[in-house]
Structure 1
Amino acid sequence: MGVSVADDIDVRDISPTAWRLLRVAAGFGQREVESEVEDIMQAHISMLESDTRGLSEARLEELFSLYRDELDDEQVCVLVEHF
């Protein structure tokens, strides 16, 4: 598998709105993410998406990977760049 533009996205630069749109576009509800990522709660997702709490870079990478697995690179790039 080759390197894509989405590989260059810095998860720390993704906006709260883009996090929400990535999750929804990937087909996940907040509670579904809770069951997919160990030690993350629905409240963490809610706070990340409302910009009231940040998550560690490792957690952000886990979320980003989860969402990227369900989306193509163009979708990911458009959501991150425009929102």
Structure 2
Amino acid sequence: MCDVDAGAISPRAWRLLRVAAGYDQRAVERELDGIRQAHVSMLESGARSLSRDRRRALLALYAVELEAAQIEAIATHF
């Protein structure tokens, strides 16, 4: 896993991470219990944040599909 703080990721970076990992919002909903498409949408729009545990779970889901360097680059530059 990478050293990125899930609490420091911007809404735009969350969207880019999801897309880079190959997920649409509905797929995330199917993969993670307790996270709905609306939660992902609000996180990515900056309208609302998820709990620390849910952000970590989301980042872990994306990390399965991405290399740590990819996650770090997206989180740092976006």
Q: How high is the TM-score relative to the length of structure 1?
A: 0.90
Q: Name the counterpart of 1:31.
A: 26
1:64 aligns with 2:53: no
Q: Distance in 1 between matches of 2:66 and 2:35?
A: 21
Root mean square deviation, CA, Å: 0.9
Q: Name the counterpart of 1:18.
A: 13
**How many residues get paired?**
78
1:39, CA displacement in angstroms?
1.4
- Summarize deviations over 1:37-73 as a string: whole Å, max 9, x none: 0011100000000000110000000000000010011
Q: After TM superposition, what 4+ stretches of structure 1 lie above 4 angstroms from structure 2?
A: none
Q: Distance in 2 between matches of 1:73 and 1:53?
A: 26
Q: Which runs of 5+ in 1 are unaligned?
A: none
Q: Name the counterpart of 1:54.
A: 49
Q: Which runs of 5+ in 2 are unaligned?
A: none
1:11, CA displacement in angstroms?
0.7
Whose radius of gyration is greater, 1 or 2? 1
Q: Name the counterpart of 2:69.
A: 74
1:9, CA displacement in angstroms?
1.2
